[in-house]
Amino acid sequence: MKVSRNRFMPRRCACAVLLALAAGAVLADDDPLQEPGHDGDPRPYKSYGAAALEIATFQLLLNRVDHAFVRPDDYGVSVGSIRRNLHSSWVVDRDPFEINQLGHPYQGSVYFGLARSNGLTFWESLGFAFAGSAVWEIAGETTPPSRNDQITTSFGGSFLGESLYRMANLVLEQGYGLSPRWREAAAAAVSPPLGFNRYVRPGRGSGIWPSNSPEIYARLQLGVGGVSHRNVGPSQAPHRNEVSADFALDYGLPGKPGYTYRRPFDYFLFRLRLSNIQGIESLASRGLLWGAPYAPGRNVRGIAGLYGSYDYLAPQLFRVASTGLSLGTNAQWWVADGLALQGHASAGVGYTSTGTVRASTSGQYNYGFAPQAMLMLRVIGGEKIALDLAAREFFNGKLTSPETGGTDRVFRGDATLTYRLSGRHAVSLKYITSRRTFAFANVPERQQRRDTIGLYYTWQPFRGSGAVEW
């Protein structure tokens, strides 16, 4: 599934998300008695027909725009092309990495958001995103339907879309000092489908969705990073330092009395890093699909279960993206008065793709289901200081994809030391390492690496440094 090859589209969407946020049970998703309906009716309003119509209209408009402006033109759909695609085998397409792994998930988040803002539950909206993606693969393009696009659009789009939907509703619900008009604008920037339905069909399924007051930690960092170590491997990308903006949000941290995890993404983390070089340098959304809290002792609170994730990394020299499912846990431990440890650990399988930026030869990519893992640790020292450590690893994509031509393994690690100056203002020192080990035929290089050290101004909109009291 191809969206328009305008590569600036995902960057504009990401910038809108960042600026707006800075301004301001098993398969049973939402509790029907809690979700608002039309004119204050506590019964939920939902419209499957409106969701389907809006998705179909969006696809029609997108197809016409792509047909008019994108070259080569793969959008001159006809009865013959639809019939051919219905009888065609599904393939792995070779569209540009940013289109497949960033544009497609964002398009899927639009499908998901249109369904969600018509009152549908998380699982129903995921089904609409899956169906919408299949329709586009068959009737939105003339090229053969792509199975990698079907996965990233429907599942990656849903995991990204639910985070955007929740964050937009949080702005509407909490306000954060914004006037009603600016709340609506900020929410629409974060989740355009929600903003659209709140404008054209106010008070219906687009009513403010109840967050149940989750414990939240957020920060925005602006700074400059210099390269401390670099091994370009087969990449011909130029050597440049970067100016970057880094946004992080943790929603539903464990330990808050009375908060439950009965709905998908009652806990999630969202990460967005923008760079003057790549645009979107990294994007991640990871949420608890199904799980339960635990409390093994007086000083420990946690949650454990099944997480859904979407990850995209582009550290100048190479790119990796993954849509996956993992088993894992989040926990907080009060070690002593004023000293807390927060952590996350998960491991699972994702549909993963890798590729070299400006590769010296062709064929330097992998697609396939592959193991993945994530570890995070946060050491919180009172109100003043915090140390964040994180590591993500994506393993060999050839594991279940024999058509790929090599082996691949990507590691991303970062360490951030933050010191609060006063109020919401802090300063941070950040180290990031991005490493790739691979083997491709006719490519003598075997490694790529890029390490940076940066100094950042940090804005923390909430009191404290993220530790949950109980």
Rounded average pLDDT over 217-241: 89
Same domain, 289 and 338: yes
Give domain status of residue 361, yes or no.
Answer: yes
* Across 41-56, average pLDDT: 82
Q: Is residue 210 part of a domain?
A: no
In-domain check, residue 1: no
pLDDT at 284: 97
What is the model's pLDDT at position 171? 95
Taking all residues of the chain, what is their mean pLDDT, rounded to a whole number? Answer: 87
Quick one: pLDDT at residue 195? 95
Average pLDDT of the segment spanning 315-328 = 95
**For 319-339, what is the mean pLDDT?**
96
Residues 220 and 78 in one domain: no
pLDDT band at 20 (very low <50, low <70, confident <90, very high): very low
149, 253: one domain? no
Residue 406: predicted pLDDT: 73
* pLDDT score at 4: 40
pLDDT of residue 86: 94
Distances (CA, A) of 162 to 49, 121, 269, 308, 309: 20, 10, 11, 11, 11
Is the confidence at residue 71, as pLDDT, over 70?
yes
193 in a domain, yes or no? yes
Confidence of residue 93 (pLDDT cuts 50, 70, 90): confident
Q: Are residues 185 and 249 in the same domain?
A: no
Q: At residue 169, does pLDDT exceed 70?
A: yes
Give residue 116's domain range: 8-200
Same domain, 170 and 61: yes
Indicate whether 38 pLDDT > 70. Answer: no
Q: What is the pLDDT of residue 141?
A: 92
What is the pTM for the complete model shown? 0.89
Q: What is the pLDDT of residue 397?
A: 61
Give the pLDDT band of residue 199 (cuts 50, 70, 90): very high
Is pLDDT larger for residue 251 or for residue 208?
251
Clarify whether residues 399 and 337 are in a common domain: yes
pLDDT digits (tens, 9 = 90+) for 239-266: 788 899 999 999 999 999 999 999 999 9
Q: Tell whether 105 is covered by a domain.
A: yes
pLDDT of residue 230: 87
Query: Nearest-CA neighbor of 457 among 158, 289, 292, 223?
Result: 223
The per-residue pLDDT for 203 is 64
Q: Is the predicted pLDDT of residue 205 greater than 80, yes or no?
A: no
Q: Is residue 205 in some structural domain?
A: no
Are 164 and 231 found together in one domain?
no
Task: Decide if pLDDT at 27 tops 60.
Answer: no
- From 173, 200, 227, give the residue that closes a domain: 200
Do 243 and 377 belong together in one domain? yes
Q: Are both 150 and 261 inside the same structural domain?
A: no
Average pLDDT (415-440) is 94
Q: Are residues 225 and 91 located together in one domain of the fold?
A: no
Q: How confident is the model at residue 399 (pLDDT cuts 50, 70, 90)?
A: low
Please check whether residues 157 and 277 belong to one and the same domain. no
Q: Say how many domains are in the chain.
A: 2
pLDDT tops 70 at residue 32: no
CATH code (residue 382): 2.40.160
